[in-house]
Amino acid sequence: MGAILGEALTGALAGFALYAGFKLWQTWRLSRWLEPGKKGGLPAALPGIFGRFIEQAEKQKRTHKRGTKKLKAALRRQRELMEGVRDAVILVDPQGGIQWFNRAARRLFDLKPKRARGTPVAQLLPDLEFIAYLDKGQFAEPLAFAHPASPDRWLEARVTEYQNAERIILLRDLTRLRRLENSRRDFVANLSHELRTPLTVLRGYLETLRLHRQSDPALRDAFDQMEVQSIRMARLLQDLTTLAQLESPEPARCLQPVEVTGLLRRIVADARQLNEYRDHRLETQFAGPVCLHAIESELYSAFSNLIFNAVRHTPGGTAIQIRCDRSKAGLRVRVEDAGPGIAAKHLPRLTERFYRVDDSRSSATGGTGLGLAIVKHAMAGQRGRLQIKSQLGAGSTFSCLFPAEQIVEADCCVLPPADAKPLVGPDSVDSPASQSEPSPACN
């Protein structure tokens, strides 16, 4: 048209402007269609490269829609699974605010979804021990603590960390289990108390009969066997009472500085008075005075059971090494013997009540099967742990490990009197430390 009118350049420019405007309009329509959340069908067929764009975009849209649908279904399924969990599940952000919680958490803490989101978890669970547990960041072991709104209810917390420093807190209601444990402990304590009086009377009469031995050898043997069995029953009752004391919740338990090496020397002196002592070589190696923040009577219980068991269960004349080492990690008290050793299959169960590696040997030495259970519970009360290493034919090593924060300066220790009685004695009523006293209480 421009050439016909004699204005070829003007016509070319006008035609180019019209073509560019048309393409810009097509581009605008395509961009509007590609906007997120835009509803509506495909724009009218566009020629050339724009048609290709629309075809590829539509294919990607369909793929994205299918993926989004599957993802929503998976998220909905996971949410339903988490909602169905009987334990309380709480999702916490890196700042400690509550992001999400399930139905069990709503029931347990009476939470409102809109109000609770963003609330600090420390405000929901204002237990100091739980807050310290979160701050420490070591979640290998669960934590048991009282429900903040109901002190008679107990919870167990397990924490899992995942990406972006977020945490999942799983809270289990331990109230029923705790009540069963309390019932069992009370039953054992009451039974031990009720049996102690008739057993004392029986042993008194047997002692009288022993002083007036009959001429008949059969009767003498019968009375001797009765006396031996009554002593075993007394030992069993003593150990059951000890376990009940160690397991009982005592809010007034008071940890005080205790000089460990002096306590070990007293136990070694007591070990030499045991009936089972057969010229064992008790070798000691202590790294100077070391003090622990603990309960002296319960430390005596743990150490004496280990040392006296080594005396009873190792051949006469063998060496028993008692060592006390201090390091940056903490304090270790080790009792090593040269006895027959213990097979690896028995090691995980040694601290169970009444578990015996060899029933015949335990009967011969008068053991009750509760000694290591007492040691385990006594160590737990001092924030320590028991470690056992043994091999058949190569002896055994029992180590009491205490964290470094339990160690106090030696000048803060007050040595107990030489005639102080421990909480529990060894696994023998004939030993010098057979009496029982309650744990010291804080004023």
pLDDT digits (tens, 9 = 90+) for 230-245: 777 877 777 777 777 6
The pLDDT, as a whole number, for residue 441 is 42
The pLDDT, as a whole number, for residue 279 is 79
CATH 3.30.450.20 correct for 82-173: yes
The pLDDT, as a whole number, for residue 424 is 39
**Paired strand residues for 145:** 155
User: Out of 3.30.565.10, 3.40.50.920, 3.40.50.11740, 3.10.580.20, which CATH number does the structure's domain 255-443 have?
Assistant: 3.30.565.10
Query: What crossing angle do the helices spanning 175-211 and 217-247 adopt, rounded to 10°?
Result: 150
SS3 assignment, position 154: strand
Radius of gyration of the chain (CA): 38
User: Quick one: residue 98, left, alpha or beta (phi over 0 = left, psi -120 to 50 = alpha)?
Assistant: beta
Residues whose CB falls within 8 Å of the CB of residue 122, separated by 6 or more in sequence, listed in order: 96, 131, 134
| Per-residue tokens: 350 | 């040694």
pLDDT tens sequence across 384-440? 888 888 888 788 889 998 888 888 776 555 554 444 444 433 333 333 333 334 444
Q: Which residues of the chain have pLDDT under 50?
A: 251-252, 360, 416-443
The pLDDT, as a whole number, for residue 330 is 85
Q: Edge to edge, what strands does the sheet with 281-286 contain?
A: 281-286, 319-327, 330-337, 396-403, 385-390
Phi first, then psi, for residue 49 (nearest 5°) are -65, -30
| Per-residue tokens: 366 | 């008068």
The pLDDT, as a whole number, for residue 40 is 55
The pLDDT, as a whole number, for residue 293 is 81
> What are the residue boundaries of the structural domains of the chain, listed by start?
82-173, 255-443
- C-alpha–C-alpha distance, residues 139 and 134, integer Å: 8
Task: Detail the DSSP E strand segments found in 194-286.
Answer: 256-259, 281-286
The pLDDT, as a whole number, for residue 100 is 83
Phi first, then psi, for residue 442 (nearest 5°) are -80, 140
- C-alpha–C-alpha distance, residues 299 and 289, integer Å: 16
The pLDDT, as a whole number, for residue 198 is 81
Burial of 168 (0-12, 13-18, 19+ CB in 10 A): middle
Q: Which of 309, 303, 305, 302 is nearest to 286 (CA)?
A: 303
Q: Record the pTM.
A: 0.56
The pLDDT, as a whole number, for residue 42 is 55
Query: Residue type for 184, please?
Result: R
SS3 assignment, position 403: strand
The pLDDT, as a whole number, for residue 249 is 58
Residue 344 is classified by DSSP as G
